Amino acid sequence: MLRNICALFLLTTLAALTAPSTHATPRKGHTVVLGASRRVQYSKAGDPSGAQPGETELRIRALIVDGALKEWTTGDPHDITDRSFVVRRAIRINDALPAGSADEAKPSDLKKNWVWQRGPWLLVDRVTGRISALKLPDYDPGVSQPIWFRDFAAYCGVTASGKSLYAVVTQIGARKPLLSKKLNEWDREHPTIPACAPVEWQRDPLMVTFHPAGRDDARFSLVPGSAVLVEDSADDAEPAAAQTK
């Protein structure tokens, strides 16, 4: 009898130890917000490839994850899914010349050597808190003005040689652009500003219209497809975050 009672006690204890706890500490979520807008000095001298002639100010907003400043951004964000959005990065870059240069700045002028530039587009995941830089094909910060629809970006791009202007439609997560068609020649030394007016989207049927300067509009039909963006789960992202600490 005593032996049976001991055996029952051991089995009950073992079951209690191996059973999953219903009071486990919940996984911490992430808080992703964009701060208030503020203006900073901005000019063609500080951002040769990004600023428009006569542009003197740039509106920027802080991208804050879990209360910590991660990036500065500019322009309006665009929701891709209910948890991911894209926004353009604003970069503060050191414009000081090397020590010993003829016009080396005085210590009192060091703050003036930091200039703002428009940077690449960022993909932000509200669930994992992850921020990724998007590599848009033939993207040129001084020419390309992506107009987003779903997970597609449409814009005028410039080839690496700087001699051709292209109509580009790319999808986040896809290896190749959905559309890449030459519009006209491009002269980087004497560019037309702006090179293109904002692109126009049409949903049904799915079409996109480009408005390059100095030539007729170009309209293209697109074959709609499913999203190829892969969003990691919070469980998968947590170990990666722990490794970076």
Helix (H) or strand (E) holding 5: helix 2-18
Look at residue 63 and give its three-state secondary structure: strand
Alpha-carbon gap, residue 13 to 208, rounded angstroms: 66
Do 137 and 170 form a contact (C-beta atoms < 8 A)? yes
In contact, 103 and 114? CB cutoff 8 Å: no
Q: What is the pLDDT of residue 208?
A: 96
What does the alpha-carbon distance between residue 206 and residue 46 come to, in Å, rounded to a whole number? Answer: 39
From CA 91, how far away is CA 129, in angstroms rounded? Answer: 20
Q: With contact defined as beta carbons under 8 Å apart, do 157 and 186 qualify?
A: no
Task: Tell me how far apart the terminal alpha carbons of the chain are, to the nearest angstrom.
Answer: 56
77/87 Cα distance (integer angstroms): 4
Is residue 155 within 8 A of residue 139, CB to CB? The reply is yes
Taking alpha carbons only, the member of 151, 154, 175, 143 closest to residue 78 is 151
Q: Sheet of 218-221: strands edge to edge? A: 196-202, 207-212, 218-221
Judged by phi (left if over 0) then psi (alpha if -120 to 50, else beta), residue 67 lies in left
Residuewise pLDDT in 10s, the chain (245 residues)? 545 555 555 555 555 454 454 444 455 678 999 999 999 999 999 999 889 888 999 999 999 999 999 999 999 999 999 999 999 999 999 998 887 666 655 555 555 689 999 999 999 999 999 999 999 999 998 899 999 999 999 999 999 888 999 999 999 999 999 999 999 998 877 777 788 999 999 999 999 999 999 889 999 999 878 888 878 776 554 443 433 33
CA 55/CA 18 separation, integer angstroms: 66
For residue 109, the 8-state DSSP code is: G
Distance, in Å, from the CA atom of 87 to the CA atom of 95, rounded to the nearest integer, reads 24
Structure tokens that stand for 147 in this block: 């107009």
Q: Please state the φ and ψ torsions of residue 115, each to the nearest 5 degrees.
A: -125, 155
DSSP 129-167: --EEE---TT--TTT---EEETTEEEEEEE-TTS-EEEE
Q: What is the pLDDT of residue 190?
A: 77
pLDDT value, residue 162? 86
